[in-house]
A = this chain, B = another copy of it.
Amino acid sequence: MNRFQLIQKDSNCPARTGLLKTPHGDINTPVFMPVGTGGAVKGITPEQLRETGAEIILGNTYHLMLRPGVDAVEKIGGLHKLTAWNKPILTDSGGYQVFSLAALTKIDENGVQFNSHVDGAAVSLTPRSAMEIQNRLGADIIMCLDQCTPYPCDESFLKEAVERTIRWAKMCKESHSNENQMLFGIVQGGINLELRTYCAEKIIEIGFDGYAIGGLSVGEGHENMIKTVRHTAEQLPADLPRYLMGAGTPADIIAAVKSGIDMFDCVMPTRNGRNAYAFTEDGPIRLRNSSHTTDTQPIQNDCRCYCCRNFSRAAIRHFFNIGEMLGPILVSIHNLMFYQNMMRQIKEQIKNGTFSGWADEKIEKYRIFNSKTDMAEQ
């Protein structure tokens, strides 16, 4: 059953709007998913999150399987209950964190063995266990276990990872046992377009409820990413949702929508918020900067977020300066609102048939966030 409904296609580019139906409600795409790492979007309450307009959040299987553990999540009543979020949730497979955070000890056909970054305990993750864990966590959308490659990455390693990702995808499809949950396949292949085509074909053959592009936003840069996204998105079924994992900056997201992507997740708004970096239409603002000491403007004048409606830059700077939690809370709220506003504008522009030109302008304007190397991207 296809739970995705295409609403509108842009006439000048592959951008589209759609509706994705889940047991916890509908999602209007293109959609941005704030990251709720271990069951909480860092620094804010689910109520504050809802006020930004978020329709779906992402939970990290890796973090949740280590703490509190899948048994505990089940006893608590599932991930929605733990998180106090009754709208849709997507869980990743844990693969990305295993390959980036954990001390990887062994990788073979059965899966990966690693040492927990929390206490060093030996843990394994297999295609079968990734499915079982995600089935039990109870998200609305779950992801296949894949092998995420770094950038740069040599050709033979990339090919091996693609083949493994395909074999694991088959095993995931066979193990998936909760028909209320959509299962998405993941296409790997680094920035090698031939490998991406090959991987996409094989993953589509297996057949999933949606398709993700993994292994990007790992240092390859905006141009490489978008070239790969544009190429790969073309290979994916038009009638199913397409998800670009772990991206990205505002320019990344708009350019990816222009390439036909429907779903995004990224820690940028919250991580930068905690570090006092705010997104604004005119570029990033560092709120620790002494230039804001008596600046009575809000972070962004026309922003309707709770932070901008109530607090001056000077007040926020002061809260960071004295170590008050309110600083990180407020800028996280603002940054999430900035991202959600951008998604609202994207949908509006597609609806009005004006997306393509608007996107080019914004991608150019928002390049400033890509080049600010002091903003944290991962």
- Cα–Cα, bound, A84→B308 (Å): 11
List chain B residues, Cβ under 8 A from A321.
Answer: 67-68
Q: Is A213 an interface residue (CB 8 A)?
A: no
Tallying the copies of this chain within the complex gives 2
CB <8 Å contact, B43 and A315? no
A40 within 8 A of B: yes
Given known pairs A63-B322, A322-B38, A329-B325, the reply for A84 and B315 (CB within 8 Å) is yes
> Distance (Å) between the CB of A147 and the closest chain B CB?
26
Interface residues of A in 284-308 (CB under 8 A from B): 293-294, 296, 306
Distance from A80 Cβ to chain B, minimum over Cβ atoms (Å): 11
Q: Is A361 in contact with chain B by the CB < 8 A criterion?
A: no
Which of these, B40, B68, B77, contacts A296 with CB under 8 Å? B77
> Which residues of A in the span 159-180 have a Cβ within 8 Å of any Cβ on B?
none
Most chain B CB atoms below 10 A, which of A38, A45, A83: A45
CA–CA, A324 to B36, complex, Å?
A: 10
**A312 contacts chain B at the CB level, 8 A cutoff:** yes
Chain B nearest Cβ from A139, distance in angstroms:
16
Residues of A within 8 A of B (CB): 37-40, 42-48, 63, 67-68, 72, 75-77, 81-84, 293-294, 296, 306, 310-312, 314-315, 318-319, 321-322, 324-326, 328-330
Can you give 19 A-B contacts (C-beta < 8 A)? A38-B319, A39-B319, A40-B325, A42-B325, A42-B326, A43-B325, A44-B326, A45-B48, A45-B306, A45-B330, A47-B306, A47-B310, A68-B321, A72-B318, A76-B314, A76-B315, A82-B318, A84-B310, A325-B329
